[in-house]
Amino acid sequence: MGEGLAAGATVGSRTDGELDTAHRLAAARRLLRRLEDQATGVRPVAEPGADGRVLPVVAPLAALLPGGGLRRGATVAVTGAAGATSLMLALLAEASAGGAWAGVVGRPDLGLVAAAEAGIALERLALVPYPGADLVAVAAALLDGLDLVAVAGRVQHAGDRKRLAARARQQGAVLLPLGSWPGADLELACEQGRWRGVDAGEGDVGRLSRREMRVHLRGRGVAPAGHSARLLLPGPAGGPAAGVGGSVGGGVEGAVVIDRPAEDREAG
């Protein structure tokens, strides 16, 4: 990432060793205060539900999800060996563009260019790439102040998973774990991914331009067999798009980064 982004948007840094718990939580709370200072008035999120309890998602995902979006208070797990990060960004994009605030915990490799291409408003995106052993506490702090929080990393104890899910319900936020999450309200699984754009017949020799992915939904409010759709993650324009066949069966300034290592910032 560019030097301008790091200099203007980093809250806290790590030069050697892990920050202790108190320091990490203090950094997360400073982040929330900073986001509150940046916000002006009520966040103008366009809601598909008349009651305002559903955060919008891009059209290809709206056709798949119950209620056409992400219900506030829900836990929606995103799984799959490949494509999960693109799907997570797609889930954040529409609400972010409409004024919602989002956070991603535990993904130091997340590219802000990819996030911007997916449609996420970087000025309303908070990153905590290195939560260390305090992942649960940091995620809980972010759920207190943000609309959507994606969490990468293993949360081994069932009690911690229940704690975060309860915090999301209490605060009206959406919790998006990356990976298996027993007890999640919904699970979106990325399956059967295939990159396109490398065959001569497709007119784009030697370049990977888009990835077609089958996304399978199961969970509460969904038929036992679940529902699937074919999506392009990413599509030709960078964001998600409907894939062939559709449903099956039913600038990088502005993001806030906490605790990014100094050596990474200098490397750009």
The whole-number pLDDT of residue 112 equals: 87
User: Residue 125 and residue 85: Cα distance in Å, rounded?
Assistant: 15
Banded model confidence at residue 55, pLDDT cuts 50, 70, 90: very high
User: Residue 12 and residue 131: Cα distance in Å, rounded?
Assistant: 12
Structural domain includes residue 238:
no
- Residues 57-88: pLDDT tens digits? 988 899 899 999 999 999 999 998 778 888 99
* CATH label of the domain that carries residue 181: 3.40.50.300
Domains in the chain, number: 1
Q: What is the pTM of this model?
A: 0.75
The whole-number pLDDT of residue 239 equals: 63
Range(s) of the domain holding residue 259: 3-40+52-185+251-267
Residue of 115 and 264 predicted with greater confidence? 115
Structural domain includes residue 226:
no
The whole-number pLDDT of residue 229 equals: 85
**Res. 105: pLDDT tops 90:** yes
User: Residue 107 and residue 105: Cα distance in Å, rounded?
Assistant: 6
33 secondary structure, DSSP code: H
No. of H helices and E strands in the chain? 8, 13
End-to-end CA distance of the chain: 5
The whole-number pLDDT of residue 121 equals: 94
Structural domain includes residue 124:
yes
**Res. 172: pLDDT tops 70:** yes
The whole-number pLDDT of residue 16 equals: 40
Structural domain includes residue 166:
yes
The whole-number pLDDT of residue 4 equals: 25
